[in-house]
Amino acid sequence: MTTEATSESPYYLAAGSEQKAIRIACERGLAVMLTGPTGCGKTRLVRSIAAELDRPLVTVSCHDDLTASDLLGRYLVVGGDVRWVDGPLTTAVREGSVCYLDEVAEARRDTLAVLHSLLDDRRELFLDRTGESVPAAPGFALLASYNPESRSLLKELKPSFRQRFVTLSVTYLPPEQEALVVQHESGVPEDVATALVRSAVALRRSEHAGIEPPSTRLLVAAASLVAAGLPLESAVRIGLVNPLSVEGAVALALDELLRAEGVLT
Amino acid sequence: MTTEATSESPYYLAAGSEQKAIRIACERGLAVMLTGPTGCGKTRLVRSIAAELDRPLVTVSCHDDLTASDLLGRYLVVGGDVRWVDGPLTTAVREGSVCYLDEVAEARRDTLAVLHSLLDDRRELFLDRTGESVPAAPGFALLASYNPESRSLLKELKPSFRQRFVTLSVTYLPPEQEALVVQHESGVPEDVATALVRSAVALRRSEHAGIEPPSTRLLVAAASLVAAGLPLESAVRIGLVNPLSVEGAVALALDELLRAEGVLT
Amino acid sequence: MTTEATSESPYYLAAGSEQKAIRIACERGLAVMLTGPTGCGKTRLVRSIAAELDRPLVTVSCHDDLTASDLLGRYLVVGGDVRWVDGPLTTAVREGSVCYLDEVAEARRDTLAVLHSLLDDRRELFLDRTGESVPAAPGFALLASYNPESRSLLKELKPSFRQRFVTLSVTYLPPEQEALVVQHESGVPEDVATALVRSAVALRRSEHAGIEPPSTRLLVAAASLVAAGLPLESAVRIGLVNPLSVEGAVALALDELLRAEGVLT
Amino acid sequence: MTTEATSESPYYLAAGSEQKAIRIACERGLAVMLTGPTGCGKTRLVRSIAAELDRPLVTVSCHDDLTASDLLGRYLVVGGDVRWVDGPLTTAVREGSVCYLDEVAEARRDTLAVLHSLLDDRRELFLDRTGESVPAAPGFALLASYNPESRSLLKELKPSFRQRFVTLSVTYLPPEQEALVVQHESGVPEDVATALVRSAVALRRSEHAGIEPPSTRLLVAAASLVAAGLPLESAVRIGLVNPLSVEGAVALALDELLRAEGVLT
Amino acid sequence: MTTEATSESPYYLAAGSEQKAIRIACERGLAVMLTGPTGCGKTRLVRSIAAELDRPLVTVSCHDDLTASDLLGRYLVVGGDVRWVDGPLTTAVREGSVCYLDEVAEARRDTLAVLHSLLDDRRELFLDRTGESVPAAPGFALLASYNPESRSLLKELKPSFRQRFVTLSVTYLPPEQEALVVQHESGVPEDVATALVRSAVALRRSEHAGIEPPSTRLLVAAASLVAAGLPLESAVRIGLVNPLSVEGAVALALDELLRAEGVLT
Amino acid sequence: MTTEATSESPYYLAAGSEQKAIRIACERGLAVMLTGPTGCGKTRLVRSIAAELDRPLVTVSCHDDLTASDLLGRYLVVGGDVRWVDGPLTTAVREGSVCYLDEVAEARRDTLAVLHSLLDDRRELFLDRTGESVPAAPGFALLASYNPESRSLLKELKPSFRQRFVTLSVTYLPPEQEALVVQHESGVPEDVATALVRSAVALRRSEHAGIEPPSTRLLVAAASLVAAGLPLESAVRIGLVNPLSVEGAVALALDELLRAEGVLT
C-alpha cells in the first residue's frame, strides 16, 4: 500500500495492490467491475487507473433511461444532410480510451446488451444503425461499478453479465489516509479533519437502520464550510447530519453518535 | 437574524445565519439542498441569495416528465439547418448564474443523472448530444429543494444523490415577521395581518389528519381579498379554508380552529 | 344575488356575491379555483366572468394526455422552415385573456408544472422550447375547476398546487332560477320546466348509491325534446333517465323518484 | 312502427318512434347516445337516420389507441411543405355530416375530451394544432354508441360525458321482422329464416353463463351459407355455434338449445 | 374427404367438406375464422384455399405490437417528397387477394378495429391517414386464425369481433394421411413415418400436464434428420423430444411415451 | 467426439456428434435451437459451425428492446433522400450467412414474429416497410439459443415458436478438455488450469442456493491474471469468487468450496 500520490491523482492514497490488479486486468483486455458502498472512492480510483495507464477517461453515469444510442451515437441532421456522431462508448473504443460506466446496475438491460461483443474475445463494438463494427483500439479498457447494497431486485445484474467482468470490491480509505485527504482538499487543520473522519467511521459502523454511511466527499464538504469560517457545529449539521437523514428519528440517532465523537455539543 | 429587507429582496426578512451559510457554500462551489414544508419560503430565500451573490437566477420546476433535454438543451431545425439551443441548466452553467431546481425529488432519476459531473470536483456539464463539456463559469451555483413530508417512496432521492449537497432545513417565518410580510404585500392593516398569521400558526400546529399547513403566499392572497373590499369572513373562506380542504370533515375542523382564532364567526 | 342576465351571459342568473369575489380575485391577479359537482354551471360562470371583465375567454378541457406543449405551443415546419405557434395558454397570457382550465385535476402533473411561474408573483410564462419568458399582459386571469366528488386518489391535486389558488365552491342554481333557465333555453312552458327542475332536485338529493345528479344542461336537453313535440314521458326517459343510469336497478329507482314527481306515469 | 324500408335503408325495418326521437334530437342539435347489445342493429339504425336526414355519414370505430389526431387531423409533409389534413370528425363538422362514434366507451378519455366544445352550446371544434375553431355546419349531428354489458370498470364513461348526450337504448328487431331481414339479405326461404331467428331468440333468452346473444348479422351469415348450398346443420355450426362459443361446455349447451329449436339434429 | 393433392397444394390431403365450406363462405363475401391447436395445419389449409380460389395470398403474423399502420400502410419520405406505401392488408383489398391474419387473437384491439368496415356489408377499408376508402376488389377474402387453447384472458377476442366471422375448427390430419405427408416431405421410408406419427398421436392424447402436442411440421423436421443420415433415436430427441419439453419431468414422461411407441429405446 | 480443433475454431474441442447433427440440420434448412447454462460455450459452438459451413456469421444479442427494425433494417435520411439499410438478419438472409440469435427468449414477441416466414417452408423474410420479400440465399442458416434455467414466466417462448426449431441441449466441456482450453487461452501451466477447472466443476455441482455456475470464459479470465503475475489466491478472488457472488453468505460458501479444492488457503 502506498501513500504516494502522483500529481495526476492527488487524492487517491491507497490500495496499491488493488490498483496493480486492475491495471493488469486492463492490460490483459479484461473488463473490470468495482463494487462497494456509495462514495467510497470508486470514481477516484478509476481516474487514478486512467492516469497510470496514460489514457483519456470517458465516464458515463448510468440510469434507467440511458439508451443504447446514448452510448453508441446517433445520426444528426446538419445542413440538410445527416452526420453520424459517435457516443461516448464508441469514442472510447475507437480512440483506445478508458471507459467507465458508473452505477452500471442502474442501466437498462437493452443498453447493456450492446456491450456483449466488447466483453468477449471479439473485442469490437457493433453499431447497428450504421452497420459498422468498431474494433477496440489498443489501450481501450472498460471499467464499471455498482453498489451491491443499493441494488433492487429489478435491477440485479444478470449472472451472464457479471461473469464478463473480473471484480474487485472497494471500500473506504483507512482513517488516517482519509483524514489526510480531507485536510488536503478543504484546508482545515488536522484536528478538525481527524474529528470528522472519526465521526464518519462511527456512522459507517452504526447499525441503526436509517443511517447511511457518509462519503469522503461529504466530509470534505463539511470541512470546507469550517475552513470558510462556519462554526464546526453548523458545518457538521449542514454538511453531514442533514444530507444523511430525512427522518427525525434518524437525525436524533445521528446527533447522539456525533456528540459521542465530540463534533456536536 | 436581521429584519432588514434589501430592495432586491423585500420579502424575506429572516434567517440571517442560514442565508450566510448558504452564501458561503455557494462561494465554495458546494451545491445546496433546501428542505422544508410547502410554502415556507424556499423559493423566496433562493431569490434573496441570488440577489446577494449578484447573479441572475434560473428556476426550474421539476416534475415527472422533465427530460434531460429540458435541462440541457436540444437541436432545433431552423431554416432547413440545425441549431443547438441551450436549456436553462446549460445557460446557467455557461453564464455563471444561480440555478434553482425546485422540488427536485419530483424529477426522474435519469434527469438527475446529468447533474453528477456538475456536483463533484469536475464541475462541468456534459452535453451528450453535442459532445461538448461545459465548465461551470465563475459564480455558478446550484441550489435545489424538496419537501421531506410529501415525498413518496418511489420518489425518494438516492443517498448517492443527497450526499452531493450540503443541506439546510427551512421553515416558516416567525409570526411577527410573517405578519409584516402579509401586511406589506397585501396592504391590509396590522390587526388583519396578525389575525391571519395567528390562524396560520394554529393550523400548522394542528394535528388533525387532513389539515395542510397554509403557506405565507396563501395568507397574502386572503389578505389581498380583504384589502380589495371583501369581508374578512368571505376572504378567509375563499382564500384560506377552501384551498386547504377538500373534504367536509376537514372543513369543519378548519372552521372550528379559525373560529377559535376569531377570523370566522 | 341578482336575477338580471346581461345579453352576454343570458343563462347565469346567480350568485352575485360569488361572481363579485371572483372578479375581485382576478383583478388582484389571484388565480381562482372553482369546485363543485358536474354540470352545476362552472363553465357558464366562467363565461359570465369573462364577459364582465370584458376579456376574451380561452377554455382548455384538461385530460390525461394534455401535454405542456398543448398548453404552451410548438414548432411547426412550414415551407421548409420552422415557425413557433403559441398554444392556448400562451395566447391568453400574451393577449391578457381569461384562461379557463376545465377539470384541471385530470391533467398530468408535468403539464400543471408549467403554470407555477404564472401562479406566484413572477406572473410570467416560461417557454422552455424557445427560451422566451412571456409576462402576463394586463387583464390576464387564470381560472380552473375540478369536481372533488369524482377525483381519484391518483389524480388528487397536490397541496402545493391547490394553495396557489383562491377557491370557491359552486353548486346548482336555486330551483326557481334553474326553471327560468330551462324555460328560456328550450322554449317549454313554465309548468314543464318546473316539473323537470323539481325532478332534478329530487334526484340530486337522493342517497341511492348509483344515481348521479343531473346537470342543468341535461334538463334543457330533455325540455328541448318536449318543445320539439316529443311526449313528456319519452323526453324524460331519453333526456334524463337514460343518460343518468347504466344499470337496471338504478333505472328502477330513478323511475320511482320521477313518478313521485309526476313526470313519469 | 313501420315495416317499409326505403331504398337507402333496406334493412332497418323498425322502431319508428325511436327513429323519430333520434331525428328530432339531431335536428335540435342534441348529441345522441345509443346503448344496447352487440349486433342488435345500432350501426344500421345510424345509417338509416343519416339517410333520413339526407346527410353523409362518417363512422369512426373507437378503440384504445384512437388519438385526438385521428379524429381531428394532422399535418403531413408533402413536397417539402406541410399540409393540414382534416380527420373524419373535422370533416363531418365542416361539411355538416352525421358523425357516428361506434363503441365510444372504448376510446381514451383524452380523445373524448376534444368533443367537449362540440357537445355544449358552443357547437364548435377546436383544432389545437392549427389554432382554428371550426363551427359545426348546419346539418352536423353527432351520434355515439356503447354496449353497457361489455363495458369494463376502466372503460366506464364519466357521468360528465354521458350527461352530454340524450340516450336511447336499442335492442333486437321483433322476430317476424328479423326473419324478413334474414330472408331478404340471404335469399333463403321463409322457413329457414324463421328457424334461424327462433334459435337466435332462444339463445338471447338463455341464462347459460357463457352463451353470447347472436347478432342479426350472424343469422344472415348462416343463412347465406344455406343459400349457397351448404346443409342447414353445417351452416348453423359454422355460422352460429362456432362463432358464439370458445369453450366445450358452452358449445354443448348451444347444441342442446339449437336441437330444441330443430335446426340441429 | 379427398386424398388428392393438387400440384399447388401438395401437402394438404384433407377435409374436403371443410375446404368446400370455406370456399363457399369466401365466395359469399363472408370472413372466415379457423380455430385449432398449434401446428395442425391451419396455415397450409389457407394456402390450399387461396390456390383453389386462384388468388394471391397475403399472410400477416399477428402480435402485440402490430400497428394499424403495419396493416394499412404509411407515408415514406422519398427524394424529399412523401409517398404513400400500401400495407399488406390494403394491398390485398385493392388487388382482390386472400388475406390471412395468423394468430389474430395476439393482435392489439386497435389494430383489429381497422377491420370493422371490411367485415360488415360496407366491405371497404378506410385509410385514415389519406382519407381514402378502398372498396374490396372482387376476389378479396379475409381469413383469420387463433388457438383457443393458448389464448389468455387479456387476449380474448371480443364477441363483437368474433361474430363478424363464420368459424371452423380445424384439427390434425388422420394418422394415415399425416404419415403420407411426413413421408412425402422428408423422404423417409413408410415405417419411419408411421412410427413418428404414431408417437405424435400418443403425445397429443397424453394428459400429462406439461406435454405439448407436436405439430406435423415437427414430425417432418425429425423425419428429415433421419433421411439425412442421423440415427432415429438422435433425430427423435433433437427433432421431437427437445422442442416439446423445457423441464426434466416432462422430458422423462415424453421419453416413456416414446419408448412405448418404439421410437426411443 | 473429437479433440481436434481446426485453425478457425481453436477453442471448441468437443461434441463432434452434436456438431454433426447441427450441421445436418442447417444443411436441410432446419432452424436450430441450442439450450444450456450460461457460459457453457454455446456462442463458441455456433462460431465453430459457421466455420465448418464456411459461411459468415452474424450474431445478434437479443434483449427486451430489440425491435423488428433492429433485425430487418430501416430507412435512413442521407443527403435529403431516403436510403434503406438492411439490418443484420436481412443481411444474413440475402447473403446466405449463418445468423445466430443469442438469448432469443429475451426478445419481444413482436420481434420474434418477423421470423415466422423464415421458419416454415416459405424460407423468406418479409420487409413490411419496403414491401420486399427476401428469399433465403443458399447457405442461410438460423440458430438461436436460450437458457432454460434463467427464463422467467413472462419470457417463456411460446410452443408455436419452439416447435419451429430442432433443439439440442449443450453443456460444459468435459474437465480435461476444459483444462486444455484454459491452458491454451491464458498461458498458465497445466496444474493451474486443472485446479481452476476442478474448482469450477465443484461449483457447478454445488447445490448451495446462491452459487452460480462459472463459465469457461471466467476460468480463462482468472487464469489470465495468474499468467500476468498475480498470485493464484488474488486471481481466484478477483476472477472467480467476486463475479459469482453478490452476498456475503454466498461468498463464504464459495470460499469453503474453493479451499476444499486447494485454490484458496
C199, C263 contact by CB (below 8 A): yes
* Distance between start and end Cα atoms, chain D: 37
Q: Is F161 exposed, middle or buried (0-12, 13-18, 19+ CB in 10 A)?
A: buried
- D-chain CB neighbours of C63 within 8 Å are 109-110, 112-113
List of chain B residues whose C-beta atoms are within 8 Å of the C-beta of residue C163:
38-39, 212, 214-215, 217-218, 243-244
Phi and psi dihedrals of D256, rounded to 5? -60, -45
Rounded to 5 degrees, what are φ and ψ at A168?
-120, 140
pLDDT tens digits, D158-204: 888 889 999 998 889 889 999 999 999 999 999 999 999 998 998 88
Render pLDDT for D220-260 as a digit per residue (tens, 0 to 9). Answer: 999 999 999 999 989 998 998 888 876 666 777 778 888 88
**pLDDT at site A169:** 87
Torsion, Cα of C62, C64, C65, C71 (10° steps) = 30
Using 50, 70 and 90 to split pLDDT, how confident is the model at A209?
Answer: low
Flag whether D touches A (3+ CB pairs, 8 A cutoff): no
| Of residues D64, D77, D86, nearest to E82 (C-beta) | D77
Task: Assess whether pLDDT exceeds 60 at residue B55.
Answer: yes
Q: At what angle do helices A190-205 and A216-227 cross, to 10 degrees?
A: 150
pLDDT tens digits, one per residue of D45-92: 999 999 999 999 999 888 777 788 889 988 776 555 667 889 999 999
Mean of the pLDDT values across residues E3-32? Answer: 68
Asked whether the beta carbons of residue F43 and residue A129 sit closer than 8 angstroms, the reply is no
Question: In this model, does residue E252 exceed pLDDT 50?
Answer: yes
How far does the CA of residue F233 sit from the closest CA of chain A (Å)? Answer: 12
pLDDT given at position F5: 31
Of C68, C81, C168, Cβ closest to residue B238 = C168
Of chain D, the percentage scoring pLDDT greater than 90 comes to: 40
CA distance D9 to chain C (A): 24
Q: For residue C209, what pLDDT is reported? A: 66
One-letter amino acid at B186 equals S
CA dist A143 → C264, D262, F215 (Å): 79, 78, 20
Q: For residue B224, give the nearest of C30, C81, C165 by CB distance.
A: C30
Q: At D212, is the secondary structure helix, strand, or coil?
A: coil
Q: Is D234 left (phi over 0), alpha (psi -120 to 50) or beta?
A: alpha
What confidence tens digit (pLDDT) does each residue in E233-245 have?
A: 899 989 988 888 7
The C-alpha R_g of chain C, in whole angstroms, comes to: 21
Residues of A in contact with F86 (CB under 8 A): 131
Answer with the residue of higher pLDDT: D139 or B120.
Answer: D139
**Partner residue opposite D163 with nearest CB, options C85, C224, C243:** C243
Query: C99 to chain B, minimum CA–CA distance in Å?
Result: 19
Q: Are E217 and E163 in contact (CB under 8 A)?
A: no
Q: Among the residues of C65-115, which ranges form H helices?
A: 68-72, 88-95, 109-113
> In the 8-state DSSP scheme, what is residue D120?
S
Q: Considering only CB atoms, which chain E residues are within 8 Å of D181?
A: none
Backbone angles phi, psi at D83, to 5 degrees: -125, 135
Looking at the partner chain, which of B70, B217, B234 has a beta carbon nearest the beta carbon of C128? B70
Which secondary-structure segment (H or E) carries D216? helix D216-227
Average pLDDT, chain B: 83
C244–D21: do the CB atoms touch at under 8 Å? no
Q: Residue D145 above 90 pLDDT?
A: yes
Closest-approach residue (CA) in chain D for E74: D76
pLDDT: which is higher, D140 or B83: D140
- Compute the distance between CA of residue A111 and CA of residue F107 in angstroms, rounded to an integer: 14
Candidate CATH numbers 3.40.50.970, 3.20.20.140, 3.40.50.300, 2.70.98.30; the one for domain C2-169: 3.40.50.300
Indicate which of A57, A61, A90 best probes the interface with B, i.e. most B CBs within 10 Å of its own CB: A61
Chain F residues touching A163 at Cβ < 8 A: 38-39, 212, 214-215, 217-218, 243-244
What is the pLDDT confidence band of residue F13, given thresholds at 50, 70 and 90? Answer: very low
Average pLDDT estimate for B162-174 = 90
**Nearest-CA distance E218 → chain F (Å):** 6
Tell whether E163 is within 8 A of chain F (Cβ): no
Per-residue confidence band for B130, with pLDDT thresholds at 50, 70 and 90: confident
Phi–psi pair at E150, nearest 5 degrees: -95, -5
> Which of A131, A156, A159 lies at the smallest CB-CB distance from F85?
A131
Query: Which residue is listed with cell 389507441?
Result: D65
Q: Searching chain B, which residue's CA lies closest to the CA of residue C121?
A: B217
Length of chain A: 265
* Candidate from E110, E128, E169 with C-beta closest to D64: E110
Of C204, C116, C234, the residue nearest C165 (C-alpha): C116
The DSSP line for B45-58 is HHHHHHHHHT--EE
Does E109 contact chain D (CB < 8 Å)? Answer: yes
Q: Which residues in chain E are closer than 8 Å to F119, comparing Cβ atoms? A: none
Residue environment code for A89-111, b if the CB has 16+ CB neighbours within 10 A, otherwise e? bbbbbeeebbbbbbbbbbbbebb
Whether residue C232 is predicted with pLDDT greater than 80 in this model: the reply is yes
Quick check: C260 contacting D, CB < 8 Å? Answer: no
Interface subset of F 50-79, CB within 8 angstroms of E = 68, 75, 77
CB atoms C147 and D167 under 8 Å: no
pLDDT given at position B152: 53
Quick check: do B and E touch, 3+ CB pairs under 8 A? no
**Model confidence at F129, in pLDDT bands (50, 70, 90)?**
confident
How far off is chain F from A216, nearest CA to CA, in Å? 24
pLDDT, tens digit, 9 for 90 and up, residues B110-119: 788 889 889 8
Q: Note the pLDDT of residue A3.
A: 26
Find where cell 385530470 sits.
Answer: C106
